[in-house]
Structure 1
Amino acid sequence: MMLVFVLRHTVKTDTMAPPCGGERPLWPTPTVNQCQSNMATRWGICSAGKISNDFTVALKTLPPGDHQVVAVAARKLDDAQEFAKKHSIPRAYGGYEALARDPDIDVVYIGVIHPYHLSTCLLFTNAKKNVLCEKPLAMNAKEAKQILASAKENDVFFMEAVWTRFFPVSVEIRRLLAQGEIGEVKMVRSEFGMPLHGVPRVMQKELGAGTMLDLGVYCLQLTCMVYNGEKPESIHATGTFMETGVDDIDVVTLKYSNNRLAVFICRSDIELPNEAVIVGTKGTIRIPGHIWCPTSLVVNGKETKYPVPEPYLPINFINSTGMRYEAEAVRQCLLKGLKESAVMSHADSLLLAEVEDEVRRQIGVVYSQDSQ
């Protein structure tokens, strides 16, 4: 019997500022103060739902001199006012148009569900607002292209909020791969499964439901990050359906050049270990759980922990204070005058959307937006 010993140590992550620009691979860039800025980034929050709550809580874990929430908008004024009171936000709007007209906002966080991403993103980009929009960026690649084109035409910063990319664990993975710590990567395997039957965003087709867009995007983004944005040579997907006509279980295999592979499984009926393994010619990197918000990394048997800060108010989703990393990355991009992040670029978002489309096509999931 072979015994495997795992060595552990913990890394303090409060001072780790995620990267925003430059060539890949990237590792932490200077802090905002080192970038010689003494003004806070002023955020507007679009939607007063659960994810917007958690993003706002995450912002409050950052220095108040660097990030301030100055306004929130919801479809109903009462909801916006309640949200504003809860988080001590100065202004509340009943409607997104008023938020788009607010001259005191540097960047808008969009937390509406993805069937409304196209119209909401266009509202703010056409109003010359910088935008951080929740994932998935859109219902399909066609919509994603429209959003990204509008951001470019209006010369504003835009990023899809794939928050996982900015966690210290992800920063470390990119650094290790760049240094050749595990040699040439030959396989990426990941899984994400949770018992979500009965959750509207996963069940109801009109809400953009389905396992690929809700859970699978996290497995896919990891694969795309590890293979540095390379397009797969082939995609094979199979799966099962819920009674509502959306995908329940997805099994996806992606083949890359030089016989490199990726395989991921996502399902909404049961909880999986939710791990990921990156296998190279010289070693292995493993995310031992919570691949969408990882706080631990095992490299060739040695484990390092990267804890996220404790929230000051209750949060709805695990490790949500980790959204602080993407928020800080946005700030640094704005300070440098960048229009997109090299860590989660426009090309990265489009690649995700295109692969998601192909997976849905092979499985047979069609949304009304696909025919528009």
Structure 2
Amino acid sequence: MFGRFKVGILGTGRMAELMAMTLKSMRSVTCYAVASRTKESADSFASKLGIKKAYGSYKELLKDPKVELVYIATPHSEHFNNVKMALLAGKNVLCEKAFMLNEKQAELVFNYAEEKGIFISEAMWTRFHPMRKKLQEILDSGVIGEPSMLTASLGYNVASKDRITKPELGGGALLDLGVYTLNFASMVFGNDVDDIISVCTYNDEGMDMNDSITLKYKDGRMAVLNASALSMSDRSGVIYGSKGYIIVDNINNIEGISVYDENHNEVAYHKRHRQKTGYEYEVDACIKAIQQKLTECSEMPHSESLMMLKFMDFIRKRNDITFPGEWNGIDEIDEDEFYDEAEEDDFE
């Protein structure tokens, strides 16, 4: 463990466990500490995953001088307060997607981090994967000609999960699943969007369960995106060009990329290389950026996180999707807040 980069995890849910397993498989980094809102939960998690330190509150972990990077794996609704708390403690931050509930929250924490020289990134893992670069190489080669349209879908039957059903947790399919389709479109076509058309269906609490989103770009290209918290989808992305098309198998963690010509013949197939969990790439990128004294990762710069949230804010407004309390405390960051405020529940 000597000399290895030390990561602390806030939260003990599914994503926290996946990250702890990832860190355990890496040589240059260790999962040094975990924090929950109860000591019992933290102790159980630490014992199960072989973590050295277990804290019964987030602030205890954030006060540990040995923690070099904090990974935040709490519900969307808690990201803003948890990130603020970590930044006020001077900790570098990797926060799960969706990064915040809205663009204003993200803008505030990014501005503070940049002002103080603290690293922070959204853990949008697809942006860090090597297959993202491979997809871009294929597009740049011109093998399918000029791309003009794409489709992408991501759906899982998760409608019974509290993080999906509850407005107070920042629920709905958009922030949990639609964010992946939006990021896929952004990685392929960029963000020069002229209009967004969206419709959705709702649960009894007003959270979106099915989302259909169409992006119209200023150069005439289009992206048609679907996200569902009710149904399983094929998770595919298809990019249509003037001389052929590309089918991406699993936009959530690209497993393979098939290239077809104008006669529908498969002319190339690119298989994903072996990976640990797929989360190791974002951890590596964060460590490199921190060591270079940067405040963001080139793979997922702050500007991209802000743009994705801007799109989702627009979509939510169009579909009248609101979260209670999401506009609270976004005027400024009070540097006394870390010492004065009671810790928020993480709803684990």
User: What's the TM-score, normalizing by structure 2?
Assistant: 0.88
Partner of 1:13: none
Does 2:320 align with 1:359? no
1:65-84 counterparts in 2 under 5 A? Answer: 66-84=28-46
Does 2:198 align with 1:234? no
How far apart, in 2, do the equivalents of 1:131 and 1:210 lie?
A: 25
1:21-100 counterparts in 2 under 5 A? Answer: 39-63=3-27, 66-100=28-62
Q: Given that residues 297 and 304 in structure 1 are in contact (C-alpha distance below 8 angstroms), is that contact kept between their aligned partners in structure 2?
A: yes
Q: Given that residues 167 and 324 in structure 2 are in contact (C-alpha distance below 8 angstroms), is that contact kept between their aligned partners in structure 1?
A: no
Percentage identity across paired residues of the two chains: 32
Aligned with 1:255: secondary structure? strand
**One-letter identity of the residue aligned with 1:259:** G
Aligned with 2:219: secondary structure? helix
Aligned with 2:25: secondary structure? coil
Does 2:159 align with 1:197? yes
Partner of 1:277: 238
Partner of 1:303: 269
**Offset of residue 89 of structure 1:** 1.4
**Offset of residue 50 of structure 1:** 1.3
How far apart, in 1, do the equivalents of 2:150 and 2:308 lie?
A: 16
1:36-185 counterparts in 2 under 5 A? Answer: 39-63=3-27, 66-185=28-147
**Offset of residue 370 of structure 1:** 4.5
CA RMSD for the aligned pairs?
Answer: 1.7
**Offset of residue 179 of structure 1:** 4.1
Aligned with 2:325: secondary structure? helix
| Total equivalences in the alignment | 321
How far apart, in 2, do the equivalents of 1:164 and 1:181 lie?
A: 23
**Offset of residue 94 of structure 1:** 0.8
Partner of 2:216: 255
**Offset of residue 226 of structure 1:** 1.1
How far apart, in 1, do the equivalents of 2:83 and 2:58 lie?
A: 11
Q: Given that residues 166 and 325 in structure 1 are in contact (C-alpha distance below 8 angstroms), is that contact kept between their aligned partners in structure 2?
A: yes
Q: 1:267 aligns with which of 201, 213, 228?
A: 228
Q: Note the residue ranges of structure 1 that are not aligned, 5 or more in a row.
A: 1-37, 311-320
How far apart, in 2, do the equivalents of 1:211 and 1:70 lie?
A: 33
How far apart, in 1, do the equivalents of 2:47 and 2:237 lie?
A: 40
How far apart, in 2, do the equivalents of 1:183 and 1:96 lie?
A: 51
**One-letter identity of the residue aligned with 1:170:** R
Partner of 1:350: 306
Deviates more, 1:137-146 or 1:167-176: 167-176
Aligned with 2:231: secondary structure? coil
Q: Note the residue ranges of structure 2 that are not aligned, 5 or more in a row.
A: 261-265, 329-348
Aligned with 1:70: secondary structure? strand
**One-letter identity of the residue aligned with 2:52:** P
